[in-house]
Structure 1
Amino acid sequence: MALVKDNILLQVVRGTLGDQITIYERNGQIIMAKKRGPSKKKPTKKQLEARYKMQVAAAYARVIIQDPEIKAYYKSLAGPGQNAYNMAVKDAYKSPEVQNIRFEESTVVVTAKDEFRVAEVDVRVVDPAGDILERGKAVLGRNSVEWYYKAASLPVGGKVIVVAVDLPGNETVREVKLE
């Protein structure tokens, strides 16, 4: 790979020359590199999963940036050399993280984070027999990280199931047994 500086000819040339050299631009720099060919190895299961996940993320990004408000949101988060599409793909590729679940009397406090934003947190209270006693949406706190859900009761031996959802719809489920 070579970085090209001050070459008038290569300022306008992009693409592959023969089957030998590829010229492209990234972040304002012109790069010349040996042309890569397709791999001769069979993809692993993890590679196939990653390719599928990327296809889904790219499909989400193509659709979601048609909405001017969401496109503006993603564009505001883009850094140098990035655009709204890149940010939408990045957001769709990763699920939110439920970092902590704690109880303050009958209130369930969920700490959920995402690189972009957590859209909603759903809380279910389940009794020891496995029946759902109640469910509802948690309310985002002032710190934009903690979500609060006021439960009618938290039965001993039951569990609380928390589902954090981000803007693209990725879900993360976490359970806590009640003691």
Structure 2
Amino acid sequence: MAIVKDNLLLYAVRGTLGKQFTIYERNDQIIIAKKRGPSKGKPTKNQLAARYKMRVAAAYAKVIIQDPELKTYYKSLAGPGQNAYNMAVKDAYKSPEVQNIRFEEETVVVTAKDEFRVAEMQVRVIDNDGVILERGAAVLGRNGVDWYYKVNVLPPGGKVIVVAVDLPGNETVRELLIT
């Protein structure tokens, strides 16, 4: 790959030359790269899954950048050579991460992070028979990482299930047994 600077000959040229080079523009820079051909091998299950996930992420990004507020949010997070669309694709491609679930007296504290933002946290308390005793939304703490949910009862032998959701709607589910 080569980056062309101030070349009058390539100023208005874009596309493929002689099935050898591709010339394109990215972030106001002209780039010349070797032309890639199609893969000759059959895609693996993981490759097909990644392609599908990328299609979904790209579809999300196309829709979400129509919202001026979210477009501004994603643009504010973009680095050099990136734009709001790139950031929206990146956000949609990755799910949030639940790092820790702990109990502080009668409060469930969930530590979760996402490269962009965890939008909501749902908490369910289930007894040892599988009956949901309570459910609700956790509240984000001041540190922007910990989510707090005050429970009425923590049944021994039951479990707490937390669902972290990011802006694109990706969910991460984790559970913790109550001892």
Question: Taking structure 2 as the reference length, what is the TM-score of the superposition?
Answer: 0.96
Matched residue type, 1:72 = T
- Partner secondary structure for residue 153 of structure 1: coil
Matched residue type, 1:117 = R
Matched residue type, 1:104 = E
Rounded to whole Å, the distance in 1 between the matches of 2:139 and 2:6 is: 56
Offset from partner CA, 1:54-77 (integer Å, 9 cap, x none): 000001111111111111111111
Residue correspondence of structure 1 range 136-175 to structure 2 within 5 A: 136-175=136-175
Q: Closer, same or farther in 2 for the Cα pair 1:48/1:102, shift >3 Å?
A: same
Matched residue type, 1:56 = V
Mapped pair 1:111 → 2:111: yes
- Partner secondary structure for residue 99 of structure 1: strand
Offset from partner CA, 1:27-49 (integer Å, 9 cap, x none): 44432222111111101111000
RMSD: 1.2
* Counterpart residue number, 2:66: 66
Mapped pair 1:40 → 2:40: yes
Rounded to whole Å, the distance in 2 between the matches of 1:144 and 1:33 is: 42
* Counterpart residue number, 1:78: 78
Give structure 1 stretches of 5+ with no counterpart. Answer: none
94-103 or 67-76: bigger deviation: 67-76
8-17 or 38-47: bigger deviation: 8-17
Residue correspondence of structure 1 range 125-140 to structure 2 within 5 A: 125-140=125-140
* Counterpart residue number, 1:91: 91
Number of aligned residues: 179
Rounded to whole Å, the distance in 1 between the matches of 2:51 and 2:12 is: 32
- Partner secondary structure for residue 61 of structure 1: helix
Give structure 2 stretches of 5+ with no counterpart. Answer: none
Q: Closer, same or farther in 2 for the Cα pair 1:42/1:25, shift >3 Å?
A: same
Rounded to whole Å, the distance in 2 between the matches of 1:2 and 1:64 is: 33
Matched residue type, 2:103 = F
Rounded to whole Å, the distance in 1 between the matches of 2:159 and 2:47 is: 36
Question: Taking structure 1 as the reference length, what is the TM-score of the superposition?
Answer: 0.96
- Partner secondary structure for residue 60 of structure 1: helix
Rounded to whole Å, the distance in 1 between the matches of 2:152 and 2:4 is: 66
Offset from partner CA, 1:72-111 (integer Å, 9 cap, x none): 1111111111111111100000000000001001100000
Calculate percent identity across the aligned residue pairs: 82
- Partner secondary structure for residue 11 of structure 1: coil
